[in-house]
Structures are given as structure tokens and as C-alpha cells.
């Protein structure tokens, strides 16, 4: 079957044939803009062309060495800009690819410009996709751009090259460039709207505003302008702005030459003798196409001018969050370390912060919502800034706090705790409440010289240590961390090969019915039979699997293996029992989870009622998504269990609404029910709550007779733990089943008889 792209290319070639075009004779454009028309068109597109050309030049630079041509058209197919390899230019001019020519399906047949504008999505036109044979040695890629708020087509960007250089990645690169173009165009458009709003809302702005008529007579001078300049409104209104030594020349050029000024740095001393530095903007004001005056705007940047004078603001700040960027923070750290080495007494610490689960949020809620979340996170983090602190975004979901000149080193860890507290509440992103936490690595500049790069590496290593310890915490760099990180890198390399080399095994821990003493279920628990390190338990490698993105593949293997094993036991004549498997957060949030589970069950031939999936309360926080997925799993016949209940973000709402079969009481409560009355009360409450909601209760981590007696007394349905059996291999379970069942039943009966 032809895919969508094949359909429109095939149709285009059919139209060429139907119109009588000869594939051996190149069809040239028939419509051309005159020189004046082209100049006017380029003038009307000047801002758009400047943005598109900027990003297309970046694309050309990134592909330096590849003979490539970039062609920009308007929405009607007129070519407005052509740049790139001169030899290709010379070749394509013979096909009519010149400035001002119009490319249409009717005149030029199958071509990348027309098809891109027609389809309004990224396309590729390679080799025999072209109708005309003279173009079949060319590979073309195209995409359209628009104002994304209005969805109005502005034009297209196409890249062309000899066919031997074709690469599918070029279409991806082009699409990414178009995303940047559209974001910049929208930003500029919004800035223009903001300028208009400033003309209306003078009294509400925090900027100094000056407005004149078409002759330069000052008609408006707002309160903030008076504060900046210390000139009264009465002394300025009605005077000709040309007389101002400060801005007269600017306004003269605006009114007489219709020039526009942006971010001009103006320095002056006010009437109190204070040095003032402002950024000044000026532009004409039009009414129905006629210039009726001029608009000027002052922004007082005196406080931060010392920094802006040294660094170009745009080059040293993140365009999404407006925080300082990696380059800025690196320069600051270098300066501070140089001063320390020169003998200055300066304290310096870095807090390297990485969001937990951000990739999952990005993948499941989209990059635009991911950007909004990063913006909201930056706002909260900014609340933690002390007088001498600096916050920067390093890129992606990584942030850095630079702390300097603090009185005591306890300030650093207190600051880390303050930052972590900012993530206690969810973030509102569109209609979603998104929960995330952060892992923080702390590196304090030592009492011996190190480089800025070493300090950054120390903080980075500490951050990964925080993640390995369970996330949502901070870790302080010590010399031992460097050794640990090297070992972790080797273990990660081994982990990537473990699936292919069949090194994982499942062990099964029995779940016992507290009334009958019968084994009614098993929990499947993964182990790694490492070729050098021996049998490794999940605590050694699961966090590493999550951080490296391997957890979903490993989780899928566990489900397949558990289902296959359960079906084998049934086919061997064993009484059917349920097997529980744990879902990782990343696996639970995977969009095709339900389809995968259905496929595994069908392949294994296992009745879904014998499979239990365990999720944690933490996963259930994304309420709408979780409800939908759990309902779909339940519809398949799969049983649902909430694991580690009571340790996460417990919510009666999701417990009431979700189709849950089992609640597993976390072993941290079970372990203390005899000694700690509070834990006993909590366990009794969970059992009562679950039964009232028609759910069964499983207590895990049962290790003593007294614990089991307590749980039976308060009608806990099932237990699991070392008191009955540790997790054992499938082979051990098969060999020892009858003996194990007899021992378990005997233990249970002795307690029941009391």
C-alpha cells in the first residue's frame, strides 16, 4: 500500500503527464516578479527573511562540506532568497530556480516548493520522485513555516543537493530549523504587540515612556520617565524633543527617516548626580498608514549594567527561562576561582540540579508542555535565591545554583533543602497537574586549587549519587564518589549487554492466604546473574536502568518471562495461581503499554486473570492518565495492585476511582506493627479501608510469628515474606513446592489454632 507521501507525489506526476509535460524536457517557471515587485516583496518579507535566513545559515554551517542549496519562497511559491553552494546555484539557474520566479505545479510540474506549500508538512523529493528526468539526480527536502498563533502559511524552506548526498536526517534537521524559525517569528510578533500595548498602558508600565507628535513636540512623558531622568513632566511636555541632548538625534532620525532603534544604551547623570544607564527604544507611530508621531521607551538597567557591559545579554542567557545560561555560569565560576587563586577570601559552592522523571513527562505530555514545566520550575527556583546567589539553566532539565561569599557552609545544605521543598506541590501545566522532584549534587570549592571543570564534574557526580540513593534528595561530593562513578559506568556498560546475553532471571516469592495457609500467588522479582559479580539484586541495578533508559526493556522482559512461566506451570498440570509483576514508572507511562500487555498475554496463551500488575502510589499521581490506563488493563481482565501503600502520595480519590483489586501494605509498616503503636494503627486502618472498598489486602515483609498473628487477628487477606519463604528460582519452586506448601500450612495452622 502506498503511504501518504507516495500518494501525493504519484498524483503530482500523473497531473504532469495529463497536462502533456515531456519528462525529457525541463518545464521552467512562466511567471516572474519584476525587479521592483521583487524588491517590494522582499521588503514586506524583510523581517521574516532575516529570521529564516539566520536559521538557514546555521543549517548551512552545520552541513559545511556538503554541496547544498537553500531556497526560501513566499506562500505563493515566489522565490525570495537562494543561498548555498555556488556550483549548484549555477546548475539550478538553468531550471529557472532564480529570485522572483514562481514555482507552481501547473508550470513547473513536480517540485519541492509547490508540493511543500500544498501539503503543509515536511516532505522529501528524491531522484525518481521528480517527474522531469533532468531533476532525478537531485535530492530535495522541504517544510513550511507560519505564524503558529494564527496558523497562516507564510512560505517554505527547501534544501537541495546532489542525490549522492541524500540523508533522511536532513529532513529532521530542516524540521528542527523550522521549529526555531516559527518560535522566533512568534516572539517578534508578540514583541510588536507589546510595543503597541505600551502606547496605551503608559501609566501601568515600569518603563519610562516618551511620545511626540509628527513635528517632534513632546505629548506624553510618564511618571517613570520622570523618576529616571528627574525631569518634571511640566518641563518636558510641549517642548521639541530635538532639543534634548540625550535623545534628540534619535527622535530626529525616527521622525525624518522613519528609523527604528532597539536596545540603544544611553548613559547620563541625573539631577542628583547619580549615574543612570538605560536601554532606549524608539520607533514611528502610524495611524492608517500615516506617521503621526514617535514612541520612545527607557528601561533603567543601572543596577545590572556592570554585568551587561561585560557580557552580551542574549549570548549569556537562556531564551526559554531568561535565566543565565551555561556560558554565563562558567564565566562566573572561572572569575571566582581566579580570584581565590589570587589570594581573595571567597566562598564558592555549586548545586547541580536535575529534574527526576522529566523525560517521561516530556515524552507523554509533549515538548511544549515540557517547556512550560521548565519555565514554572525556574520561577520556583528563583524564589530560593539569596543575596549573593546566582541561578542558571544548563540546558534540558538541568539547573545550577552558584553560591558565593556565604558566612557558613551550613548555608549550602540549607539552601539545598529549601530548593527540594519547592517540589512538594505539583506544577500546573495547561490542564495537567504534573509532579516532579529534583536530585541535587553539591560541590564546595576545597582549600586547594582545582579547575572550574573539576568543580562542575564533582557537582555532577554528586547529583548522580543523589539519584542512585532514591532521587528527591541532595548529595555532597566526596573523593569516594569519583571511584563509585567509574564503577557505575562499567556496570551500565554490562547492563546494556545483559538482555542480549540472557543474564536476567526471575525469582518468585509466595503469597499465602491467611485463612487456608495455601499458596495463592507469587510475586516475580528480577535478579541479574552477572558473569563476574554473581547474582545481583534489584537495588544494585534498577536505578541505573532507570537513569540509562533501559528500565522499560527490562520491565517488558519480566512480564513476558512471568507470563510464559505461569502458562508452562498450568500446562504441566499445576493448579493455576496469580503472578504479580512490578511496573516501573517509565513503563507505566509508555503510551503503548496496554497494547503490549495484550500482545504478551495472547502470545503466552495466559488467561489475564492470572496476571497482577503492581503500580506505586507515585505513578498514580497523574490522575487522568492513570485512570484511563488502569481501566484499559482491567478491561483486558488483568488484576491491579497498589504496591508500597502508605508511603507515597496517598489519595482517597484515586483509591475510590481506580479499578484496584489489591492493596499491598508496605513492609516498613509491617516491620514495626508489634513495637510501634502508630504503625499498628495505620495497618489496621488500611485493612479496614480496603475491605470497605471491596479490595483485598496483602502484607509484605512478614518475618515473624507475632507479625503474622497480628495480621490474621485484623483479617489481612494475604501475607508475603521471609516467615514463610524468601524469593526462590522457578526450578526451586517446582522441586520444593509440596514441601514448601506443607511447611507453610503447618505454620499457619499453629497460629490459627491459638
Give me the sign of the Cα torsion angle 692, 697, 701, 702. Answer: positive
Q: pLDDT grade, residue 745 (50/70/90)?
A: confident
Whole-angstrom Cα distance, residue 614 to residue 639? 9
All cell numbers assigned to 582: 512490578
Number of other residues whose CB lies within 10 A of the CB of residue 667: 18
Whole-angstrom Cα distance, residue 752 to residue 754? 6
Q: pLDDT grade, residue 752 (50/70/90)?
A: low
Strand, coil or helix: what is 427? strand
Q: pLDDT grade, residue 304 (50/70/90)?
A: low
241 versus 549: the higher-pLDDT residue is: 241
Number of other residues whose CB lies within 10 A of the CB of residue 489: 11
Give me the sign of the Cα torsion angle 63, 67, 73, 77. Answer: negative
- Determine what percent of the chain is predicted with pLDDT higher than 70: 92
pLDDT(338) > 70: yes
Question: How much is the pLDDT for 693?
Answer: 87
Question: How much is the pLDDT for 206?
Answer: 65
DSSP β-ladder status, 437-444 and 696-700: unpaired
Q: pLDDT grade, residue 158 (50/70/90)?
A: very high
Question: How much is the pLDDT for 482?
Answer: 43
Whole-angstrom Cα distance, residue 744 to residue 724? 6
Whole-angstrom Cα distance, residue 105 to residue 115? 8
Q: Where in the chain is the domain with CATH 3.20.20.450?
A: 492-753
Triad 577, 581, 587: Cα angle to 5°: 150
Among 218-222, 273-277, 558-562, top mean pLDDT goes to 558-562
DSSP letter (8 states) at residue 1: -
All cell numbers assigned to 104: 507552481
Helix (H) or strand (E) holding 541: helix 538-548
Question: How much is the pLDDT for 311?
Answer: 47
All cell numbers assigned to 701: 515483609
Mean pLDDT is lowest, of 184-193, 391-400, 670-679, for 184-193
Those residues with Cβ within 8 angstroms of residue 74's Cβ, 6 or more apart along the chain or in another chain: 41, 45, 80, 154, 155
Phi, psi of 681 (to 5 degrees): -65, -40
- HSE-CB for 394 with a 13 A CA cutoff: 16
Whole-angstrom Cα distance, residue 680 to residue 683? 5
Strand, coil or helix: what is 201? coil
Helix residue ranges, H only, 430-478: 452-468
CATH class of this structure's domain 206-305: alpha beta
Question: How much is the pLDDT for 309?
Answer: 54
DSSP letter (8 states) at residue 100: T
Question: How much is the pLDDT for 568?
Answer: 95
Q: Where in the chain is the domain with CATH 3.30.70.270?
A: 316-478
CB 45 within 8 A of CB 80: yes
In 128-207, where do the E strands start and end?
138-147, 152-162
pLDDT(5) > 60: no
Of 391, 236, 238, the C-alpha closest to 325 is 391
DSSP structure string for 703-720: -SHHHHHHHHHTT--EEE
Q: pLDDT grade, residue 24 (50/70/90)?
A: very high
CB-based burial, 541-567: b 16+ in 10 Å, e otherwise: bbbbbbbeebbbebbbbbbbbbbebbb
Helix (H) or strand (E) holding 489: helix 479-498
Long-range contacts of 381-389 (CB under 8 A, 24+ apart): 381/353, 381/419, 381/422, 382/323, 383/422, 384/415, 384/418, 384/419, 384/422, 386/411, 386/415, 389/415
357 versus 178: the higher-pLDDT residue is: 178
CB 162 within 8 A of CB 67: yes
Of 570, 564, 538, the C-alpha closest to 551 is 538
CATH class of this structure's domain 316-478: alpha beta
Q: Where in the chain is the domain with CATH 3.30.450.20?
A: 206-305
Average pLDDT of every residue of the chain: 86
pLDDT(312) > 60: no
Whole-angstrom Cα distance, residue 525 to residue 511? 13
Question: How much is the pLDDT for 2?
Answer: 37
Q: Where in the chain is the domain with CATH 3.30.450.40?
A: 1-195
Q: pLDDT grade, residue 201 (50/70/90)?
A: low
pLDDT(229) > 50: yes
In 368-470, where do the E strands start and end?
390-395, 398-404, 427-429, 432-434, 437-444
Question: How much is the pLDDT for 560?
Answer: 96
Q: Which CATH number fits domain 1-195: 3.10.350.10, 3.40.50.280, 3.40.50.1000, 3.30.450.40?
A: 3.30.450.40
Q: How do residues 50-69 score in pLDDT, each as one tens digit?
A: 888 888 788 778 778 788 88
Of 52, 215, 206, the C-alpha closest to 142 is 52
- Asked if CATH classification 3.40.50.2300 holds for the domain at 492-753, the reply, yes or no, is no
Amino acid at each position: 500500500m502506498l503511504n501518504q507521501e507516495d500518494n501525493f507525489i504519484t498524483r503530482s506526476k500523473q497531473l504532469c503527464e495529463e497536462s502533456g509535460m515531456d519528462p525529457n524536457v525541463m518545464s521552467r517557471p512562466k511567471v516572474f516578479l519584476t525587479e521592483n515587485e521583487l524588491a517590494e516583496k522582499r521588503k514586506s518579507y524583510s523581517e521574516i527573511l532575516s529570521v529564516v535566513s539566520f536559521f538557514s545559515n546555521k543549517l548551512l554551517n552545520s552541513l559545511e562540506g556538503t554541496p547544498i542549496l537553500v531556497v526560501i519562497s513566499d506562500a505563493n511559491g515566489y522565490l525570495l532568497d537562494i543561498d548555498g553552494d555556488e556550483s549548484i546555484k549555477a546548475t539550478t539557474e538553468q531550471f529557472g530556480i532564480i529570485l522572483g520566479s514562481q514555482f507552481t505545479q501547473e508550470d513547473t510540474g513536480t517540485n519541492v516548493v509547490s508540493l511543500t506549500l500544498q501539503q503543509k508538512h515536511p516532505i522529501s523529493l528524491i531522484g525518481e520522485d521528480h517527474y522531469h528526468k533532468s531533476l532525478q539526480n537531485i535530492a530535495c527536502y522541504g517544510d513550511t513555516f507560519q505564524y503558529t498563533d494564527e496558523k497562516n502559511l507564510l512560505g517554505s524552506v527547501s534544501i537541495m543537493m546532489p542525490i549522492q548526498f541524500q540523508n533522511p536526517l536532513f529532513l529532521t534537521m530542516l524540521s528542527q530549523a523550522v521549529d526555531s524559525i516559527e518560535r522566533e517569528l512568534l516572539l517578534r510578533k508578540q514583541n510588536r504587540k507589546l510595543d503597541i500595548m505600551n502606547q496605551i498602558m503608559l501609566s501601568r508600565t515600569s518603563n519610562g515612556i516618551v511620545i511626540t507628535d509628527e513635528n517632534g513636540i513632546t505629548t506624553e512623558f510618564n511618571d517613570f520617565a520622570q523618576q529616571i531622568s528627574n525631569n518634571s513632566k511640566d518641563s518636558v511636555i510641549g517642548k521639541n524633543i530635538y532639543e534634548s541632548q540625550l535623545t534628540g538625534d534619535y527622535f530626529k532620525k525616527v521622525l525624518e527617516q522613519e528609523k527604528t532603534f532597539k536596545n540603544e544604551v544611553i548613559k547620563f547623570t541625573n539631577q542628583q548626580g547619580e549615574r543612570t544607564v538605560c536601554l532606549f527604544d524608539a520607533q514611528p507611530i502610524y495611524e492608517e498608514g500615516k506617521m503621526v508621531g514617535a514612541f520612545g521607551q527607557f528601561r533603567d538597567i543601572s543596577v545590572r549594567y556592570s554585568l551587561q557591559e561585560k557580557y552580551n545579554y542574549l549570548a549569556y542567557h537562556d531564551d526559554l527561562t531568561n535565566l543565565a545560561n551555561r556560558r554565563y555560569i562558567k564565566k562566573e565560576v572561572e572569575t571566582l576561582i581566579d580570584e581565590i587563586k589570587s589570594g581573595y577570601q571567597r566562598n564558592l559552592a555549586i548545586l547541580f540540579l536535575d529534574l527526576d522523571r522529566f523525560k517521561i513527562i516530556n515524552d507523554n505530555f509533549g515538548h511544549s508542555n515540557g517547556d512550560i514545566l521548565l519555565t514554572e520550575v525556574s520561577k520556583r527556583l528563583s524564589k530560593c535565591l539569596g543575596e549573593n546567589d546566582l541561578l542558571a539553566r544548563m540546558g534540558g532539565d538541568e539547573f545550577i545554583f552558584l553560591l558565593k561569599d556565604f558566612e557558613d557552609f551550613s548555608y549550602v545544605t540549607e539552601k539545598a533543602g529549601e530548593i527540594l521543598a519547592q517540589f512538594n506541590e505539583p506544577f500546573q501545566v495547561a490542564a495537567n497537574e504534573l509532579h516532579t522532584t529534583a536530585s541535587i549534587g553539591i560541590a564546595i570549592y576545597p582549600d586547594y586549587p582545582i579547575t572550574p571543570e573539576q568543580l562542575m564534574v564533582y557537582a555532577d557526580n554528586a547529583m548522580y549519587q543523589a539519584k542512585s540513593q532514591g532521587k528527591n534528595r541532595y548529595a555532597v561530593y566526596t573523593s569516594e564518589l569519583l571511584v563509585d562513578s567509574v564503577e557505575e559506568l562499567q556496570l551500565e556498560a554490562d547492563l546494556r549487554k545483559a538482555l542480549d546475553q540472557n543474564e536476567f532471571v526471575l525469582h518468585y516469592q509466595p503469597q499465602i492466604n491467611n485463612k487456608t495457609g495455601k499458596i495463592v500467588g507469587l510475586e516475580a522479582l528480577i535478579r541479574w546473574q552477572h558473569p563476574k559479580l554473581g547474582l545481583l539484586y534489584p537495588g544494585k541495578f534498577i536505578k541505573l536502568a532507570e537513569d540509562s533508559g533501559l528500565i522499560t526493556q527490562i520491565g517488558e522482559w519480566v512480564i513476558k518471562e512471568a507470563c510464559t512461566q505461569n502458562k508452562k506451570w498450568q500446562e504441566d498440570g499445576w493448579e493455576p495461581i496469580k503472578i504479580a509483576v512490578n511496573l516501573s514508572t517509565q513503563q507505566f507511562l509508555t503510551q503503548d503499554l496496554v497494547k503490549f500487555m495484550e500482545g504478551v498475554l495472547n502470545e503466552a496463551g495466559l488467561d489475564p486473570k492470572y496476571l497482577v500488575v503492581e503500580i506505586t502510589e507515585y505513578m498514580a499521581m497523574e490522575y487522568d492518565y492513570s485512570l484511563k490506563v488502569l481501566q484499559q488493563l482491567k478491561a483486558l481482565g488483568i488484576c491491579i495492585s497498589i504496591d508500597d501503600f502508605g508511603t507515597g502520595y496517598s489519595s482517597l480519590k484515586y483509591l475510590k476511582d481506580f479499578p484496584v483489586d489489591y492493596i499491598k501494605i508496605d513492609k516498613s509498616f509491617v516491620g514495626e506493627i508489634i513495637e510501634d503503636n502508630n504503625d499498628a494503627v495505620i495497618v489496621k486502618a488500611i485493612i479496614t479501608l480496603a475491605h470497605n472498598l471491596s479490595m483485598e489486602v496483602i502484607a509484605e515483609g512478614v518475618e515473624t510469628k507475632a507479625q503474622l498473628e497480628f495480621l490474621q487477628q485484623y483479617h489481612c487477606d494475604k501475607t508475603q515474606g521471609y516467615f514463610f519463604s524468601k524469593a526462590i528460582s522457578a526450578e526451586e519452586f517446582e522441586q520444593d513446592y509440596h514441601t514448601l506448601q506443607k511447611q507453610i500450612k503447618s505454620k499457619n495452622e499453629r497460629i490459627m489454632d491459638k
